């Protein structure tokens, strides 16, 4: 039997294609969740930090700014290149390596803290990711993993889902759950960390806004920052794309503020534990 190809949100090339837009539009939002992870683990200056599936550095750069010695890893070279450019702009030192988080090639027991902000949710072998982070930590080292909550608690997904249902009522639903919501159950998140050997595992739920300057910017943000949507759009006719765009903007209008900006809120779980 021929193996089915992985969806684009589970491949380096998929994320590489959206790296520039992701850095500009997504990373500034994810910094809010990264700060929660750092707060809950009590990161101190001088500690050695491992950031797994780091993207373009939402957590890495914030940790480095606080005086940590950071190794940022991601399997997409384009993401690492964007992270390096961001670190130069923000004048912080971050060590980087292109590396698959399911096969971390780092010395065991060599980090004080390990993090993954919206990264492990996309791993086909998530257990390997958790085990690798556990193995990388010194005894007593801390770990934090951030994962999205349920679709109804993520405004941008709810708006896009409503637009999809209206525009393509016969289109098959995504896998249940899609990778982006694979750890939306806090109980499952806790169990997977414990199965990897973490102790004192706790899960805290946090919410932060995602603000888009105007309704006209909403469509570019939704369609250029995650590899799944562009891949889906390539199979549509120009007329279908336009109908979906109009439906997305209409579904997003309810999130408009008086100043014209679109304010969408997202809920996530932050799981912490010790090695």
Tell me the backbone φ, ψ of residue 210, rounded to 5 degrees: -120, 110
Domain-embedded: residue 27: yes
Work out the average pLDDT over 172-197.
Answer: 91
Confidence grade of residue 1 (pLDDT, cut at 50, 70, 90): very low
Proportion of the chain above pLDDT 90, given as a percent:
84
Cα dihedral across residues 53, 233, 246, 160: positive or negative: negative
* Residue the block writes with tokens 């679709």: 151
pLDDT band for position 178 (50/70/90)? confident
Residue 175 — very low, low, confident or very high, per pLDDT cuts 50/70/90?
A: low
Read off the CATH number of the domain in which 119 is found. Answer: 3.40.50.150
Q: What percent of the chain has pLDDT over 70?
A: 98
**H or E stretch including 207?**
strand 199-212
Domain assignment of residue 219, yes or no:
yes
Inform me whether the pLDDT recorded for 13 exceeds 70. Answer: yes
Question: Which pLDDT value is given to residue 172?
Answer: 78
Residue 79 within any structural domain of the chain: yes
In a domain, 260, yes or no: yes
Burial of 173 (0-12, 13-18, 19+ CB in 10 A): exposed
Alpha helices per DSSP H over 111-185: 126-136, 155-167
Number of domains observed in the structure of the chain:
1
Q: Does any domain span residue 3?
A: no
Q: Is residue 125 part of a domain?
A: yes
Q: Is residue 81 part of a domain?
A: yes
Tens of pLDDT along 64-91? 999 999 999 999 999 999 999 999 999 9
Q: If you average pLDDT over residues 30-35, what whole number do you get?
A: 98
Residue-level pLDDT at 3: 60
Compare 229 and 34 and report the one with higher pLDDT: 34
Question: 260: domain range?
Answer: 8-274
pLDDT above 80 for 132: yes
Residue 237 lies inside a defined structural domain of this protein: yes
- Band of pLDDT at residue 2, cut at 50, 70 and 90: low
Residue 10, classified by CB atoms within 10 Å of its CB into exposed (0-12), middle (13-18) or buried (19+), is middle
């Amino acid at each position: 039997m021929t193996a089915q190809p992985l969806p684009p949100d589970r491949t380096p090339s998929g994320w590489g294609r959206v790296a520039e837009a992701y850095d500009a539009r997504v990373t500034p939002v994810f910094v809010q969740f990264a700060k929660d992870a750092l707060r809950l683990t009590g990161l101190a200056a001088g500690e050695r930090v491992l950031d797994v599936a780091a993207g373009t550095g939402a957590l890495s750069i914030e940790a480095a700014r606080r005086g940590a010695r950071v190794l940022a890893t991601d399997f997409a070279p384009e993401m690492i290149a964007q992270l390096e450019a961001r670190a130069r702009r923000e004048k912080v030192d971050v060590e980087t390596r292109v590396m698959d988080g399911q096969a971390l090639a780092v010395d065991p027991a060599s980090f004080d803290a390990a993090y993954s902000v919206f990264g492990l949710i996309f791993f086909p072998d998530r257990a390997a990711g958790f085990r690798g982070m556990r193995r990388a930590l010194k005894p007593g080292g801390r770990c934090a993993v951030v994962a999205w909550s349920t679709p109804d608690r993520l405004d941008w997904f709810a708006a896009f889902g409503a637009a999809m249902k209206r525009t393509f009522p016969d289109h098959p639903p995504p896998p249940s759950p899609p990778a982006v919501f694979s750890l939306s159950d806090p109980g499952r998140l806790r169990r997977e960390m414990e199965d990897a050997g973490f102790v004192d595992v706790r899960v805290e739920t946090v919410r932060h806004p995602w603000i888009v300057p105007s309704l006209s910017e909403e469509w570019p943000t939704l369609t250029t920052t995650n590899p799944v949507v562009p891949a889906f759009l390539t199979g549509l006719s120009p007329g279908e794309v336009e109908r979906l765009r109009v439906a997305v903007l209409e579904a997003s209008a309810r999130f408009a503020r008086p100043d014209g900006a679109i304010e969408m809120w997202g809920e996530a779980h932050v799981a912490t534990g010790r090695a």
